[in-house]
Amino acid sequence: MLRTLSTTDKTALLDDAVFYEVLFALGVSSHDRADYCAWEHVNFSRMGHARALIYFFECGLSSKKWDDDIVSEDFGFAASQIGISPDDRDRLNKDLFHLSSLRLRHTHKTKPWTNNILNRAHERTVSFIQFLLSDKRPRDFQVSDSKWKRLLEFLQSGQELLIVRYLGVDGHDTGWLLDKGRFLASRMSSLTILERKP
């Protein structure tokens, strides 16, 4: 059954669920960049979160797969296609969370993921945050301006978004700690680089 989202619901979903998906799609956590397994885990996770963001941005209120899905139109931001190729879309749908015989289509050269998916998710996320911080957004939810402005600054820096969060044994939670990493050639979120072990 379709649930009507209250102001409190929308505010909570924006500040928790949407913010989380953005951090984990476009951000990179600390890892050993020469460890293939760590590299694979980080990039696979980011693609999964990017897939969720792409659906969030592309699906309109009238075309949601499930009634309880939240989409950008819940926050007044119009749905539109992200602009990824059919091949990249197939990869998100067939190679990420689905075991399919279509994986046989890949060779050693075609198997690696491209940066395009993260680049397009990055572009749309920046536009979404700019909308949230503008006078154009609806007033039926609250926006933590400082939190979203800070994230926008990191995303527009042209550097990798580094994310970390620590939970202490005493129950202390640092919250999300953001920092800047390597400079990105595209100036948009990209896959992490697998470094050679010396």
Per residue of the chain (198 residues), give pLDDT as tens.
Answer: 456 889 999 999 999 999 999 999 999 999 999 999 999 999 999 999 999 999 999 999 999 888 899 999 999 999 999 999 998 998 898 888 888 888 888 888 888 888 999 999 999 999 999 999 999 999 999 999 999 999 999 999 999 999 999 998 999 999 999 999 999 999 999 999 999 887
pLDDT computed for residue 3 by the predictor? 67
pTM: 0.94
pLDDT computed for residue 96 by the predictor? 87
- Number of independent structural domains in the chain: 1
pLDDT computed for residue 1 by the predictor? 44
pLDDT computed for residue 98 by the predictor? 84
pLDDT computed for residue 67 by the predictor? 86
Q: Residue 109 falls within a domain, yes or no? A: yes
- For residue 124, the enclosing domain spans 7-183
Q: Residue 69 falls within a domain, yes or no? A: yes
pLDDT computed for residue 99 by the predictor? 87
Q: Residue 190 falls within a domain, yes or no? A: no
Q: Residue 20 falls within a domain, yes or no? A: yes
pLDDT computed for residue 103 by the predictor? 82
Q: Report which of 144, 127, 120 is spatially closest to residue 77, judged by C-alpha positions.
A: 127
